[in-house]
């Protein structure tokens, strides 16, 4: 029997594994994929996330494999600033930076530190049931009993659906392309993340390492059609956008819907901490009260 099981070895599961390891807690992690592979291209780790990685001793490693981002800008089509987020002030306050990094790099750092031997691959959870302990049934016939289970199995989580019976997926009505290209940005954008707003469309880009630029492009669903030519869609944007698009190989572009999870009332079945809200004495939500007091 397992003491602790983690379902899913994405960024969430791997980070949790690192935290449990740091506390000398015994756990087993189950991942449905045959290998640890990145979902998407790049990710920006914000100052709050970097503080967690700092506490795990991984901050410098992540910073050195990615690119520190000191300013986040919203601009119009011609790169004229609409708003700025002053990341430097946050950096100073929390002694951590925003880091843009390839997802594969981040997952590799986290998986290496947790120990690849602690991650069981090809184990896809099908069913979870609570009796005295949790009973986990996997697609490949594996059956496990576990005292504690963490569901880190992503937005369509089976753990959340079956244990908490909650989770409404919302579709933003936007299509999103993400791409990675070998491209040298003008020096002034070396440590900036830009998001450019047009009518019913947006384009963002950021440097993630020497000569590598990550970009994303969004259009409202009503403007979407199969095999849309992005250089045509964004032809009224600054020429830098078109250069980035033109430099990208087709096989380095992925296309997804933009979805998220509507706020859920509960993140755990039962609080481990005898927690109660000091305003309403409610203990239902586990670690924080969702009522407005």
Q: Kindly write down the DSSP assignment for every residue of 75-122, as one continuous string.
A: E-TT--EEEEEEHHHHHHHHT--EEEEEHHHHHHHHHHHH-GGGEE-S
Q: How far is the CB of 158 from ligand FAD (least distance, A)?
A: 5
Structure tokens at 65: 């494999």
**Helix (H) or strand (E) run with residue 144 in it:** strand 143-151
Please tell me whether residue 213 binds ligand FAD under the rule CB under 6 A: no
Based on CB atoms, which residue is closest to ligand FAD, 191 or 289? 191
Span from 9-17, 87-95, 222-230, 268-276 in contact with ligand FAD (CB under 6 A): 9-17
| Minimum separation from the CB atom of position 105 to ligand FAD (A) | 14
Instruction: Give SS3 for 241.
Output: helix
User: From the CB of residue 226, how many other CB atoms can be counted at a distance below 10 Å?
Assistant: 5
Q: How far apart are CA 254 and CA 20, in angstroms?
A: 33
Contact between 213 and 205 (Cβ < 8 Å):
yes
- Is residue 255 a contact point for ligand FAD (CB under 6 A)? no
Q: Which of 33, 164, 240, 253: binder of ligand FAD (CB under 6 A)?
A: 33
102 touches ligand FAD (CB under 6 A): no
Helix (H, G, I), strand (E, B) or coil at 252: helix
DSSP tag of 141: S
CB-nearer residue toward ligand FAD: 176 or 233? 176
Work out how close the CB of 77 gets to ligand FAD at its nearest, in angstroms, rounded to a whole number.
Answer: 21
Residue with smaller CB distance to ligand FAD, 178 or 241: 178
Closest separation between CB of residue 205 and ligand FAD, Å? 12
Instruction: For CA atoms 116, 122, 127, 133, give the dihedral sign.
Output: negative
* Rounded least distance, CB 285 to ligand FAD, Å: 19
Q: Which residue is at the shortest CB distance from ligand FAD?
A: 10
Cβ proximity to ligand FAD, 138 vs 289, nearer residue: 138
CB atoms within 10 A of CB 88: 13
What is the residue whose two structure tokens read 């009503």?
222
Binding residue count for ligand FAD, defined by CB under 6 A: 24
Are 36 and 111 a contacting pair, CB within 8 Å? Answer: yes
Q: Which two tokens stand for residue 271?
A: 């609080």
Least distance to ligand FAD from the beta carbon of 202, Å? Answer: 12
Nearer to ligand FAD, 43 or 87 (CB): 43
Asked if 39 is part of the footprint of ligand FAD (rule: CB under 6 A), the reply reads: yes
Contact segment (CB under 6 A) with ligand FAD among 55-63, 67-75, 146-154, 285-293 equals 146-154
Q: Which of 2, 5, 6, 13 binds ligand FAD (CB under 6 A)?
A: 13
Task: Establish if 185 lies at the interface with ligand FAD (CB under 6 A).
Answer: no
Specify whether the CB–CB gap between 144 and 6 falls below 8 A.
no
107 near ligand FAD (CB under 6 A): no
Q: How far is CA 103 from the centre of its chain?
A: 9
Q: Which of 2, 5, 6, 7 binds ligand FAD (CB under 6 A)?
A: 7
Query: Which helix H or strand E contains 201, and what residues bound it?
Result: strand 201-209
- For 10, residues 6+ apart whose C-beta sits below 8 A from its C-beta are 39, 107, 152, 153, 154
Instruction: Summarize as ranges the residues that interact with ligand FAD (CB under 6 A).
Output: 7-13, 30-33, 39-40, 43-44, 49, 124-125, 152-154, 158, 176, 178
């Amino acid at each position: 029997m397992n003491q602790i099981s983690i379902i899913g070895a994405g960024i969430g599961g791997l980070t949790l594994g690192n935290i449990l390891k740091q506390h000398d807690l015994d756990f087993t992690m189950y991942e449905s994929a045959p290998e640890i592979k990145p979902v998407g291209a790049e990710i920006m780790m914000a100052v709050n996330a970097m503080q967690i990685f700092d506490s795990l001793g991984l901050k410098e490693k992540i910073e050195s494999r990615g690119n520190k981002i000191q300013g986040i800008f919203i601009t119009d089509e011609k790169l004229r600033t609409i708003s700025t987020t002053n990341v430097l002030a946050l950096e100073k306050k929390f002694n951590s930076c925003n880091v843009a990094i390839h997802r594969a790099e981040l997952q590799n750092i986290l998986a290496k530190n947790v120990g690849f031997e602690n991650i069981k691959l090809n184990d896809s959870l099908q069913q979870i049931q609570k009796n005295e302990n949790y009973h986990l049934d996997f697609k490949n016939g594996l059956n496990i009993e576990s005292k504690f289970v963490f569901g880190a199995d992503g937005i369509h989580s089976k753990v959340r659906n079956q244990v908490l019976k909650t989770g409404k997926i919302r579709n933003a009505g936007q299509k999103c392309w993400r791409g990675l290209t070998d491209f040298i940005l003008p020096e002034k954008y070396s440590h900036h993340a830009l998001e450019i707003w047009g009518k019913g469309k947006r384009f963002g880009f950021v440097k993630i390492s020497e000569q590598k630029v990550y970009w994303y492009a969004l259009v409202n669903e009503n403007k979407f059609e199969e095999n849309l030519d992005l250089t045509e869609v964004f032809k009224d944007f600054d020429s830098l956008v078109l250069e980035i698009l033109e430099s990208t190989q087709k096989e380095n572009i992925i296309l997804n819907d933009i979805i998220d999870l509507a706020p859920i009332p509960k993140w755990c079945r039962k609080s481990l901490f005898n927690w109660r809200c000091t305003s309403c004495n409610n203990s239902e939500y586990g670690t924080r009260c969702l009522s407005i007091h």
